[in-house]
Amino acid sequence: MKNLKKRIQLMVLMVAVAGSALVTAQNARIKIDTDRVIGEVDKLIYGNFVEHLGRCVYGGVYEPGSPLSDEDGFRKDVLQAAKDMNVTITRYPGGNFVSNYHWLDGVGPVDERIPRMELAWARLETNEFGTNEFMKYARKMNTEPYFAVNMGTGTIEEAQRWVEYCNVKEGPYFAELRKKHGFPEPHQIKYWSLGNEMDGFWQMGHLNAEDYVKKAREAAKLMRLTSPEIKLIAAGSSNYRPDANPDAWNRTILTELRDVVDYIALHIYVGNPDNNYYNFLSTPLVCEERTKIVKGMIGEVMQNAHRPGRDPIYIAWDEYNVWYRARTDELMSGTRALEEHYNLEDALVIAGFLNVFIRNADIVKMANMAQLVNVIAPIFTNEKGMFKQTIYYPLQLFSGNAYGTSLDIFVDCETYDTDEFFIGLGEQTTRQQEVPYLDVSAVYNNGELVVNVVNRHRDKAIKADIICQTGKFTGSFEVFEVNGPDIKATNDFDREDVKTVQKDPVKSKGSIITYTFPAHSFTMLKGTVE
């Protein structure tokens, strides 16, 4: 009888253990192995973009005479918000704008500068803000400057002279001209883009691939002879419409410029015009797919490249964002162009883009969200103040914390399939299969681990075991969450429904952390591994 009782107790215990194991097995799993390395996360993936478009410069970055501006005319509230977002590199002055921009119009005494018709975005360009004003702003903002030269209506000589003006200390005419303009020391611009979106039929001075590489190669030659240490970025695909051939463009650029350039620039804008949440949340995976295709092309062409002492070619996603509401004809020109108002689902997509850049850290070494303020931007102003849009908060969290080595992690969770859809206006339909509800990246840096998780599920919190397969977690993990009352929640001048909230820390249990990720959320967990 006593033995029977013991057997029954043992059976009950085994059932309880099995039940516990079953519950654990039902959790999603995120496996972390610090030996499975993708590459080093480059700080330049946390970049932004300032273009002479709408109210990005005038009324955004720069508003002389405003009580909110400093002695140089820079909006102090915008500058502080940009500094708090830790923008590591800022692209300037375009964008479509640059393909008819002549940099000499924007230097020298302001009252002698000539206003021009701005043909890309249909407004008057006063040229009050130019090279030196931007450099003053970049220094105050503590961001690396990244200039794009005019490869549309501009000449290779004009590009060379701009490099001379910015980077040569003294002697030749344009270096002395900079000194005459009040800047005795060179600006030392390291990063230069050889034009913008030259594959696009909308670009002023649009070229086919063969003509573009001829012009770009000669411009690069003159620019690098003037300033040998500069890094050059080629204009890769921005046009993925059905009648375009982006792969052929990229292959030509990489093949013909493989000995010349340091990066190839790719662009992507996504949207939700059909109001399909799950389709929209999967759009960063299109960026990831395109990244892998171009990475393969780079690997192929590099076999025959001649680059002694230089890094391989990397990818710069130097324009990316959500953009679809402010994309009608009446909202794409003039002084209030492209003023997109963002909601929570947009912020989750931006977090997804940043996860993609980290998961591809071996090849993606630069990224620039377009743009900084007012124009499809994380910061929005009026004459009385500003507010931080929903997309501001994932950008701030990543740029403030996610540095080190990107890890190749394993994620096991429920998935969904999308319908066919447009990722952006006019672009090809695509279909994503087995999209994981949990979108994850992880970065390891001298014992510190940062895990970034987007829960794409609109209605369901997902419980997950984060499992350390090398070493163990120590202490508690900080938890930061970007979320809101619903997926359409927005911010405005008088309210902030979507923001970063620091949650209670979560304690680790040796090699496992169990955490429940709320529906429609982005969560960052930060702690240590030993």
The yes-or-no answer on residue 63 being catalytic is no
Any idea of the CA torsion for 497, 498, 503, 509, to the nearest 10 degrees?
140
Q: How many CB atoms lie within 10 A of CB 176?
A: 14
Q: To which H or E segment does residue 8 belong?
A: helix 2-26
Q: To which H or E segment does residue 256 belong?
A: helix 246-257
* List of residues 6+ apart from 397 with CB closer than 8 A: 480, 482, 500, 522, 524
φ, ψ of residue 267 to 5 degrees: the values are -125, 145
Any idea of the CA torsion for 94, 100, 105, 107, to the nearest 10 degrees?
20
What letters, b where the CB count within 10 A reaches 16 and e where it falls short, cover 109-123? Answer: eeeebeeeebebbeb
- Tell me if 167 sits within 8 A of 230, measured CB to CB: yes
The yes-or-no answer on residue 478 being catalytic is no
144, 164, 197, 481: which one is catalytic? 197
51, 118, 164, 319: which one is catalytic? 319
At how many degrees (to 10) do helices 344-359 and 392-401 cross? Answer: 30
Helix, strand, coil % in the chain, rounded to nearest 5 = 30, 30, 40
Burial of 463 (0-12, 13-18, 19+ CB in 10 A): middle
At how many degrees (to 10) do helices 131-141 and 76-84 cross? Answer: 50
Catalytic annotation, residues: 197, 319
